[in-house]
Structure 1
């Protein structure tokens, strides 16, 4: 055959067969899939025998500069040195010390190998996209629960950091952040709070979402709702069913993706619930004119890719994007971190300003700050 098509999941399984051939060109679409240089897919891709290599990605840099190194290691091994020297010369000075000289150097080094076009350059006919943040006040039992979880987790994280230091306490920190994010979404998501019955606490965010959905549907809008938590989508599902609103659902467990997509695209249902992991890429949902992000994610690139399921070539209606944020909680802090990450990507891919990136103790203090009255 002249062309071989495969997937990242199949690459390692077929490595032996694929390596028997000499290719003129190897193209990695959505190349951020090899952002972890230690993954089997990244290693197999790098071992293929090819005269030319090409990476295509809307999100070449999502969380840190190591991801960019991994893709360049596939494209031009040695251009950015080995991983250790890259970390010492570029990643740490840029992310930790905000070193503008190193940032400019890195930008210059990769520039000749980078063709960057943003969507508004390519698809000038795209309608407008309007982004809005809706800040939701937690109250009553949900607010109390946030404070209870925050206090318990703050103590747990501090104790762990005292014992092991920030770098080695990541699992406990992530568990604490997860629990706080879950309380913001809906108290029923929180597991393992001894002696706490959390079914009584009403979710201010879910109440607000349902009010929004009813208002938007009256205006004849077609809506995508994204969440990190499939368990949250099931709670939203219950609310929609109780109101007799028809919907489609896409999670990692969905067997027939195309049937769900068709139901929405052809107008059989007005609302589509999608988990960010399952629906972040590879979907064309131009029937939608409204995107709601139920909960924020650290990674702005993943959120933007989800939004662009609707705002893509073929869309002929203005798109409205709503981000639901629980006021005063760690969700607001996540939003601020998102800005830092966007700035890092901007500054490397097209010269601009960047901010320090690693989670510091000050960041953690801000995240665990009490709710204000």
Structure 2
């Protein structure tokens, strides 16, 4: 793309910087090749210095700046505790990880990043329910019980929720709860055919069914679900920018109602720690 022979070049992006500063460097290599230092030198620069360099060439407009008619967005953090059976499994998994890491030297630690990431992901799954990977788990889940209470309140108040999770295996458990409290839903994941996505979205926006279960990553962009006015993030993504994209499925042009965003966090776990770190 940088080889195109054009008089003027513009870059337009809804998320110019999602994971690391290097993404800015790549954009400017297309728009203004050579303006920023070479990649190696750029990666050593302080963020404040980079911001000063690019500021004259960046026009940033927040959604609330250009959509004056957009309704308010209320954000709530809903905490829950691990159920007793759930807590036993969580503590055992945490101790297993801690003991493995303590036994590693720096070289082994560097080589075991994937394994450590898998262990962290397992802890996050347990916060939803150990049944996501333990077929014989018959215990309770503090988060799912809290979600049940929330869904009853939503039903009684006549709201329509979007329910996001990064773990699609939790959806059958949520659907069971919804059936028990008298709510119907659609489900959209990465395996949902494109033609079915469109028909489900159109039906939901026309008033069909009560809720929409959406995979956080697969359904975070490209969907207009403004008939919903509650967004529930059952578990949070590693990057808050992905959550904002998910929230924007409801809080966007065409929304007439105030949108309530509810983030579910399990206290005393990696969820609470990561949530605090990502917001500081």
TM-score range normalised by the length of the shorter chain: over 0.9
Query: Match of 1:237?
Result: 175
Query: TM-score, normalising length from structure 1?
Result: 0.71
Distance across 2 between alignment mates of 1:202 and 1:64: 38
Q: Which residue among 78, 102, 115 is the counterpart of 1:172? A: 115
Q: Which moved more, 1:57-66 or 1:106-115?
A: 57-66
User: Partner of 2:29 in structure 1?
Assistant: 73
TM-score, structure 2 normalization: 0.93
Indicate the residue corresponding to 1:30 in structure 2: none
Q: Give the length in aligned residue pairs.
A: 278
The alignment partner of 2:29 has SS state of helix
Aligned to 2:208: 268
Moved more, 328-337 or 49-58: 49-58
Equivalence map 1:183-194=2 (5 Å)? 183-190=126-133
**Residue 63 in 1 paired to residue 10 in 2?**
no
Alpha-carbon distance in 1 for matches of 2:245, 2:263: 14
RMSD value, Cα: 1.8
SS at match of 1:226: strand
Match of 1:138?
82
CA distance in 2, matches of 1:319, 1:292: 11
Structure 1: how far apart are the matches of 2:276 and 2:208?
Answer: 38
Deviations 1:161-187 (A, max 9, x none): x25255443212211110100000111
d(CA) in 2 for partners of 1:317 and 1:200?
A: 40
Task: Determine whether 1:246 maps to 2:184.
Answer: yes
Q: Which has the higher contact order (CA 8 A, sep 6+)?
A: 2
Q: CA shift at 1:47, angstroms? A: 4.3
1:226 alignment partner, one of 164, 169, 177:
164
* CA distances 1:228-259 after superposition (whole Å, capped 9, x unpaired): 11111232123324554210111111111011
Q: Does the aligned pair in 2 maintain the 1:157–1:176 contact within 8 Å?
A: no
- Name whichever of 118-127 and 219-228 sits farther off: 118-127
Structure 2 runs not aligned, ≥5 long:
none
Q: How far 1:190 moved relative to its partner?
A: 2.9
Cα shift at 1:227: 0.4
| Large movers: runs of 4+ above 6 Å | none
**Compared CA separation, residues 118 and 146, structure 1 to 2 (3 A):** same
Q: Which residue of 1 aligns with 2:248?
A: 308
Task: Rate the CA distance shift 1:49–1:169 in 2: closer, same or farther, 3 A.
Answer: farther
Aligned to 2:39: 83
2:121 is equivalent to residue 181 of structure 1? no
Paired with 2:9 and 2:279, the residues of 1 have a C-alpha distance of: 32
Alpha-carbon distance between aligned partners in 1 of 2:136 and 2:55, rounded to the nearest angstrom = 53
Contact 1:157-1:172 at 8 Å conserved across structures: no
